[in-house]
Copies of this chain bind each other. A is one copy, B any other.
Amino acid sequence: MKEEIHANLSVRIFTDQKCFGPGVAQLLRYVDELHSLRAAALAMSMAYSKAWTVIHNAETGLGFKLLCSVTGGKNGGGAVLTEEARKMISAYEEYCEKLHAFGDTLFEETFAFYHDLVKENNA
């Protein structure tokens, strides 16, 4: 018997197809930080073509753009998040945070028997 037990929750959002999850969210956070999809892909050790497909599929599933291109400026252009992308990240993070908080308490209650089994085996 192991002393520690916990649940890992993963949240994926669907319309008529998968459209948002931890991978898209992380990629968007990197784009926001690095102002470039290419740099964001590199930061996640992901091929640029794969990153482009991830964003494209998410946009298709959601029905709105997540990134818009900017040209020129001191950094020579790049990508920035749309307002809708910021709303999605913010809602996704809030949802995951509240779900995890509820899930942690629920887990302690529901899997209390596991700790009883540990005690019995160590008695």
Q: Which residues of A contact B (CB under 8 A)?
A: 1-2, 4-16, 19, 61-64, 84, 87, 91, 94-95, 98-99, 102-103, 106-107, 110-111, 113-114, 117-118, 121
Contact = CB atoms under 8 A, between A and B. Distances in A.
6 contacts: A1-B62, A5-B14, A9-B99, A91-B114, A98-B110, A99-B99
The complex is assembled from copies of this chain, and their number is 2
A94 B99 CA distance: 16
A16 B102 CA distance: 22
Contacts of A111: 13, 91, 95
Given A91-B110, A91-B113, A117-B64, A8 B2 contact: no
B10 A5 contact: no
A63 B8 CA distance: 19
Contacts of A2: 15-16, 61-63
Select the residue from A14, A16, A94, A114 with max chain B CB neighbours within 10 A. Answer: A114
Contacts of A12: 7-8, 10
A65 B118 CA distance: 13
A7 B92 CA distance: 10
B84 A110 contact: no
